[in-house]
Amino acid sequence: MDSLNSLIDGFGTALTPVNLLWAALGVLLGTAIGVLPGIGPAMAVALLLPVTYGLEPTGAFIMFAGIYYGAMFGGSTTSILLNTPGESAAVVAAIEGNPMAKAGRGAQALAAAAIGHFTGGMIGTILLVVLAPTVASLAVDIGAPDYFAIMVLAFIAVTSVLGSSRIRGLASLLIGLTIGLVGLDAMTGQQRLTFGSLQLADGIDVVIVAVGLFAIGEALWVAAHLRRSSERPIPVGLPWLGRADVRRTWKPWLRGPFIGFPFGAVPAGGAEIPTFLSYVTEKRLSKHRDEFGKGAIEGVAGPESAASASAAGTLVSMLTLGLPTTAVAAVMLAAFQQYGIQPGPLLFEREPELVWGLIASLFVGMVLLLALNLPLAPLWAKLLKIPRPYLYAGILFFAAVGAYAVGGEAVDLVILLVIGLIGFGMRRYGLPVLPAIIAVILGPAAEQQLRRALQISDGSVTGLVNTPFSVSVYAIVLLILAWPLVRKLVVRLRS
């Protein structure tokens, strides 16, 4: 009951006119960003970080959450109408949604996706309300060794689970850790990797790294391979569902969240795996299995519901443990650091107004999104006609504004460009960007916790594994690391 009361207080915060405005702005921006090619939610939040310097944190996070959820809604519109999903979460939506649109059932596909996002987001957020305070109270007395173990888990999971190549994930992680090392050592004031430069002694601002890797890197990468003949989106009417469609979709809508939510909460790459799992599940359970691949509506409804629920799961880990499991969560964590707020078990005690206002605003945002997306989907699709030179010139422009706003120094723009070129190279040679950004944001904190833990234990390595919590986290880490070997062994035993 306690969390219910807090939630009601949260609605008090979320429903003030100012915060409603931020929520509305967030979902509008989020939907636009989801529909637009080339901009993902992580890039959008990174670009907005400097804008929010003057805001109070509650409003800023309400807007960020609106962007995160909104981008999920908007992303499926692009997948269904254009068949070129840019965000990994929307890949599955294209498999069934695009054939449906081609067969003239685009309106139904859009409706199944939008209502799926709404259902998934609602169930996911309710699970967040129920579970987050419990997780926070369980984790409330975890110490330095536990925090360090969680961060090691985050590093290992993002490098091993994501992408096709572990070694490239590891390379990306190490690049991020190196960038995080630049500056004065927080504990001793020792200069590291500054090469005597005063500019570098302050360290490289996380905003500049995030904007460089996501915005500049992406814009340059697209510029090198810009599609000259872009496909025309399929024209579509108002989304609606007939009774026969509802009969086929209500179960997938309700099943999706229970696949999406847990995967969002663990560092396993966000919505990519659960949307795929949901797709496979729906295919197996469907009475219309022969329609799959040719436009089965269950294959749109389930995965989209799972995608939105995974966003809620992501917020559980970020708010209660300070553990970012997706790129968006990582950039939001950087925003928390900027305000001097440490996400983690104590957040619910120290900043109840912020946390519960944020959670309540998710419910508000979901209703706004459904109202925005169901009747206005054809209008949003018009955004796809924006000339690409303007779109990518605009991304470069706002990236420059953001980096300059950090410190008002032109040198930051040069650092931004260098990091952007690193991001370009990483995209060219298949190094995933997520491990690098997580390493930049968590690396310095992980080092602090490591040194604190070893100080307490007087240098003995056992100080890192002296709590049941840290031991179980390391067990999971070992499992992830050993997984390919285990799988190879199982295959060999079978044959």
Positions in 208-227 near other proteins (CB under 8 A):
216, 218-227
- 193 near other proteins (CB under 8 A): yes
CB atoms within 10 A of CB 138: 12
Q: Name the minimum Å distance from CB 124 to other proteins.
A: 26
Q: 227 or 247, CB closer to other proteins? A: 227
Q: Which of 196, 408, 462, 494 binds other proteins (CB under 8 A)?
A: 408
* Residue 183: strand pairing partners: 192
Tokens describing residue 362: 């998710």
- 251 near other proteins (CB under 8 A): no
Q: Judge whether 330 and 437 are in contact, CB under 8 Å.
A: yes
CA dist., res. 3 & res. 16, Å (int): 20
Q: Name the minimum Å distance from CB 99 to other proteins.
A: 18
Q: Name the minimum Å distance from CB 354 to other proteins.
A: 21
- 177 near other proteins (CB under 8 A): yes
Q: Which of 12, 24, 32, 185 binds other proteins (CB under 8 A)?
A: 185
Q: 103 or 224, CB closer to other proteins? A: 224
Q: Judge whether 169 and 160 are in contact, CB under 8 Å.
A: yes
- 458 near other proteins (CB under 8 A): yes
- 396 near other proteins (CB under 8 A): yes
Q: 224 or 238, CB closer to other proteins? A: 224
Q: Name the minimum Å distance from CB 263 to other proteins.
A: 22
Q: Which of 196, 340, 459, 468 binds other proteins (CB under 8 A)?
A: 459
Q: Which of 134, 285, 288, 397 binds other proteins (CB under 8 A)?
A: 397
- 37 near other proteins (CB under 8 A): yes
Element (H, E) at 480: helix 468-494
Tokens describing residue 33: 């960003």
The contact mask relative to other proteins for 351-390 (x = CB under 8 A, - = no) is ------------------------------------xxxx
- 12 near other proteins (CB under 8 A): no
Q: Judge whether 307 and 275 are in contact, CB under 8 Å.
A: yes
Amino acid symbol at 278: S
Tokens describing residue 176: 């991020």
The window from 3-11, 19-27, 248-256, 417-425 that contacts other proteins (CB under 8 A) reads 417-425
Work out the angle between the directed axes of helices 17-35 and 41-48 (0-180°, nearest 10). 130
Q: Name the minimum Å distance from CB 368 to other proteins.
A: 23
Stretch 135-174 residues interacting with other proteins (CB under 8 A): 164-165, 167-168, 170-171, 174
CA dist., res. 306 & res. 277, Å (int): 9
Stretch 314-343 residues interacting with other proteins (CB under 8 A): none
Q: Name the minimum Å distance from CB 45 to other proteins.
A: 16
Q: Which of 10, 26, 34, 38 binds other proteins (CB under 8 A)?
A: 38
Residue with tokens 């009969």: 247
Q: Name the minimum Å distance from CB 431 to other proteins.
A: 6
Please state the φ and ψ torsions of residue 428, each to the nearest 5 degrees: -65, -40
Tokens describing residue 344: 């983690």
CA dist., res. 406 & res. 408, Å (int): 6
CB atoms within 10 A of CB 287: 8
Tokens describing residue 159: 């490098």
The window from 103-111, 190-198, 199-207, 329-337 that contacts other proteins (CB under 8 A) reads 190-198
Q: Name the minimum Å distance from CB 232 to other proteins.
A: 14
Tokens describing residue 2: 């306690």
The window from 8-16, 21-29, 60-68, 406-414 that contacts other proteins (CB under 8 A) reads 406-414
Amino acid symbol at 384: L
Q: Judge whether 215 and 242 are in contact, CB under 8 Å.
A: no
CA 60 to chain centre: 16
- 84 near other proteins (CB under 8 A): yes
Q: Which of 427, 436, 473, 477 binds other proteins (CB under 8 A)?
A: 427
Q: Judge whether 315 and 270 are in contact, CB under 8 Å.
A: no
Burial 10-28 (b: 16+ CB within 10 A, else e): bbebbeeeebbebbbebbb
Stretch 94-133 residues interacting with other proteins (CB under 8 A): none
Largest CA distance in the chain: 70
